[in-house]
Structure formats: C-alpha cells, structure tokens
Chains A and B, each alone.
Chain A
C-alpha cells in the first residue's frame, strides 16, 4: 500500500451537479480518466440491483393478451427498490426453497370487468403483500397525477385477470427490466479538441454541427492552436435518467458501491493464496459484500432448480429459461 505510487490520487474525483430533479440528475465528473468515468456509466446501466416482477402464477387470464405478453408487461413495471441492495436477498442465495419474504415480494392482481365499458387495469391495482423485507420495497412506482400508474391490460365485459406476481432482485445485465435507469447520457470534449471523433462536413464543421449543450462549459480551440496528441479528457458530462425505482442520488451511490464491491472481490480472490487473508482488502464498512464471496459454495444453475409452479405458472419470457420451462 504505498501511496507514492499514486500521485494521481491526490486530486481525486470531483463532481459538479448542474441539474437535479426527482428522476434525473445531470452532473460533470472531473479529475478522473475516461475508463473510470465509463466504468461508472456501465455499472449504473447494468449492475445495480433492483426489484422487478420475475415470476407470475396466472390463475385466470381471459383477456385478449396472451399470458407471456402480460408477464412481460408486468416485469417492466418499475417497483420501489430503495435499500433493496441491503435488505433483500438474491433468491438464488436465499436459504428458502423457492422464494420467501426475504428474497421476494408478492404482488397479487385480481381484476374483472363487469360493465359494458372497457376497463383498464393499472399498476396501482397490484396488491402488495405486506410480508416483505422493508415497508416500501416492491411497491409499484406511480408518478402520474391520478395515481394509477402504467396500464397493464384492458378488459371487456366478462373478462378477468387473476394472478400472483413474484418480484425478485436482479441486475440489468440479466434483463433490462432490472435496469434502474432509462438512459445515461455521457459526453466529453464537446468541442472535439481531442479528435476522438471525426466529424463529417461539407464546408465547415462549425456551421454544420450544432454545438452541444455542454459546449459553453469548455473553451473551444483557439485559432491556430496546435493539436496536442497527448491530451486526455478530464471532464465528463453525465445525464442520469432514472426510472423511479431509486432516487437519482441513490443510483450513483449504488453504482459506486457495486464498483467497489467488484474491486474488493478481486482483492479477496488475490488475497486468498497469500497469508494476508481477505479482510484488510475490504473497503469501508458501508460497502456491503452482499454474499458475493459465497461463490465458492458452488451452486450449479443459481438455485432455480426448484419445481416449476404448477400448470398455470409462467415466468416472464426471459425468466422462462432458468426455471426449466424452456418453451422458447
């Protein structure tokens, strides 16, 4: 651990938030290299654990939508996932047989149309079981003025839906429904001084390419300025656009945490063969190692080998594979 190796560290990353709202945050990240900024972006998009409906037991579905279609729609409904990294277990790592209140949230849906008018079934109609890891996890995110949420399905007179949905924790790498963000904007070097991109033009770049909204943050190249081939980018503009599962600042914090956990896992793995075992490499206490080191216990396919859920059970289209109902 000699610090003299890393003069770079003295500066450390710096953040300037330019805009923030309930579901988005725009900021500039400075004093880091491109790969660091890009890793943060990648981890935010694909590796922050959140909740999403993963398993649906359909009892009655007489609507016009096929079961799979409905399951897919249900899977995409954003669910409140605050603190789910700590509070909720991964089903594959949980001690229970199939799923339990520590590793899942049960939402039930029962709707029947009894009038001649077309009835809409909304996300707000999902009834959340109170037996869950913490008092908010798994509740559908509802942001519209009427408080109804997304439309799941429309029903005609006599049509009925009755199903039980199991929401589980997962990451965006497995399925996009577990992504906490809709998009992460990422830009650097708005004047293309580094020439990382080659802008096509007919007469002049300045006339034909509109300036980026971040252009005013940086000085354009001066007339006759020499190109510096050793220059490196130093300022990155992020536009993190959340889906509602996590507040934007939590998304960033979780992203950082996931990256730290990754690095700590490497340190632990490297430490194993040496006399100085794992602990000293663990980052600060607030980093949850979340059982990720238990990989040595050797589960085959991740514990999903339980029996399938009766004839009416359906997993969401992706989920179908690991549950042995490989109809795809």
Chain B
C-alpha cells in the first residue's frame, strides 16, 4: 500500500540530478559521486572498470538503502588525474567496448544464420 511507485526506480524526480560529485576531504584526490536512479547494473560495471586502472587508488560503491534507487561511488586517484576525469574515461572505454561487443555480435550472428540456413530451429 505504501510501497514506493515502481517508476521511481528509473525516472529522476523533480530537480534531481543524475550524478553529483562531492569532494571527500578525508583523503587526497577523492570524490564521492552520487548516482540517482541507477543500480548495481551501472555501479558494478563502472567500479570494475575503474579498479583495473593503475591510476586508481581506491574505488568502491554502496547502495545506501535498498528502497531508494541510488548509489554512491567513492573514487580515489593517485593524483595524475581528478576522480571526475577518471570516471569520464571509464565510461568512455565502457561505451567503446560495448561497441566492439555489438559489432562482434552482429558478425557472429550473421555467420550463425548462414551456417544454419536462416537460423530456424
């Protein structure tokens, strides 16, 4: 009855920002990004990409409350780049590898269709 509306999982509320950055002063070169209306799908993907980067000292995310579709990504870099730049880089590389995946998929699927004659089964 008082369950939150399902669309609150993916529609930004009024005046709500997709991402906000807050600089964490406890450690150098650290920011906490708050993503609204996103979940593990995006969070874990970005996190995994960032921790592979040698310029990243720390990266982790948490979902503060399971009822609210939001996550916080804490990112500390070694100082060569700002956390925000690193995050942008990570998103761009992810988009590029998804492009590769998309192209590879098209190729494989066409090949498959040719082999099995229209792909009927």
Contacts and interface: CB of A to CB of B under 8 A. Distances in A.
Interface of A: 1-2, 5-6, 8-9, 12-17, 19-22, 25, 27, 29, 32-36, 38-39, 42-43, 46-47, 92, 171, 173-175, 249, 252-253, 256-257, 259-260, 262-271, 281, 283-284, 295, 298-302, 318, 321-322, 328
B100 A12 contact: yes
A266 B99 contact: no
Interface string B3-15: 0011101111011
B109 A249 contact: yes
Given A36-B48, A249-B109, A22 B121 contact: yes
Nearest to A23: B121
Contacts of A264: 91, 95
Contacts of B19: 266, 269-270
Nearest to A294: B12
Given A1-B89, A27-B108, A39 B44 contact: yes
Contact of A262 (B41, B55, B84, B120): B41
Contacts of A20: 109, 112-113, 116, 119, 121
Contacts of B84: 270
A281 B92 contact: yes
Contacts of B98: 13, 256, 259-260, 263, 283
Contact of A249 (B38, B105, B120): B105
Given A14-B104, A256-B102, A9 B97 contact: yes
B23 interface: no
B78 to A, nearest CB: 12
A174 B8 CA distance: 9
Contacts of A8: 49, 52, 93
**Dominant SS among interface residues on chain B:** helix
Closest 4 CB pairs of A and B: A21-B121, A35-B48, A269-B18, A12-B100
Given A34-B48, A328-B1, A9 B93 contact: yes
15 contacts: A5-B53, A5-B55, A13-B104, A22-B121, A171-B10, A173-B10, A256-B98, A263-B91, A265-B18, A268-B18, A270-B19, A281-B91, A298-B14, A298-B15, A302-B7
Given A21-B121, A259-B98, A269-B18, A35 B9 contact: no
Interface in B80-101: 84, 87-89, 91-101
A194 B108 CA distance: 28
Nearest to A18: B112
B41 A12 contact: no
A13 B17 contact: no
A302 B9 CA distance: 12
B101 A256 contact: yes
Nearest to B56: A5
B87 A17 contact: no
Contacts of B11: 92, 295, 302
A43 B102 CA distance: 14
A79 B44 CA distance: 32
A58 B49 CA distance: 51
Contacts of B119: 20-22
B48 A33 contact: yes
B100 A269 contact: no
A283 B99 contact: yes
Contacts of A249: 105-106, 109
A5 to B, nearest CB: 6
B48 A6 contact: no
Contact of B45 (A36, A46, A173): A36
Contacts of A15: 101, 104-105, 108
A12 B102 CA distance: 11
Given A262-B42, A270-B84, 10 more contacts: A8-B93, A171-B10, A249-B105, A260-B95, A260-B98, A263-B94, A264-B95, A266-B87, A266-B91, A283-B95
B100 A13 contact: yes
B45 to A, nearest CB: 4
